[in-house]
Amino acid sequence: MAILTDVLLWLHLLGVAMGVGGGIAMSRVAPKVIAAPAGERAQLWPLEKFLARVIAAGLGILLITGPLMLWLKFGGGAGLGWSFWAKMAFVAATTLGVGLGQWAGARLERGNENAAKLMSLSGPLTGISAVLAMLFAVITFN
Ligand code: HEM
């Protein structure tokens, strides 16, 4: 079982790396997409979408491996204390931020300029929530 849970933690940390790496790159690319005139936007979308996919895949890995570790290593979330629930709250906020970013990005690509504001909001929401989820993960599990 130790090997399985080691692999799950390794994947969990890879998920963190994908989210953080993709997110930092996205913090430079998304503002450029928003500011660019329509013609130039077309050239930036493939990079934006690639980064969005890396971020979503990282989050997906976290949301799959986390509950599996919880079940296999800790027998569920009960008894882990307040910091675990603080982590879960920031995981929910991170998931909301990623979802909002994907939704707003798709709307902007369809030409809805109002979506740019939501896209700009989703980045800091995701980044701040993810950093706090990591803090409470360390407080809980170390
Ligand atoms: C945004 C999503 C998430 C982030 C950024 C995140 C981050 C982290 C980090 C940095 C650690 C390492 C902490 C340490 O070893 O001290 C960790 C461990 C852990 N996470 Fe997450 N996590 C996320 C989602 C989840 C979810 C949804 C669950 C379960 C419902 C979960 C359950 C766990 C468990 C059980 C560990 C401990 C693994 C161990 O020590 O063996 N995580 N997480």
Residue whose CA is closest, atom 32 of ligand 1?
66
The pLDDT of residue 6 is 98
Residue whose CA is closest, atom 38 of ligand 1?
9
State the Cα–Cα distance between residues 105 and 128, nearest whole angstrom. Answer: 19
Task: Give the global pTM.
Answer: 0.94
Number of structural domains the chain divides into: 1
Give the position, in ligand 1's atom list, of the atom nearest the Cα of 69: 35
Instruction: Express each pLDDT in 104-135 by its tens digit.
Output: 999 999 999 999 999 999 999 999 999 999 99
Q: Tokens representing 119? A: 């896209």
Domain span including residue 114: 2-141
Model confidence band, residue 39 (pLDDT cutoffs 50, 70, 90)? confident
Taking a C-beta distance cutoff of 8 angstroms, is the pair 23, 55 a contact?
yes
Residue whose CA is closest, atom 34 of ligand 1?
66
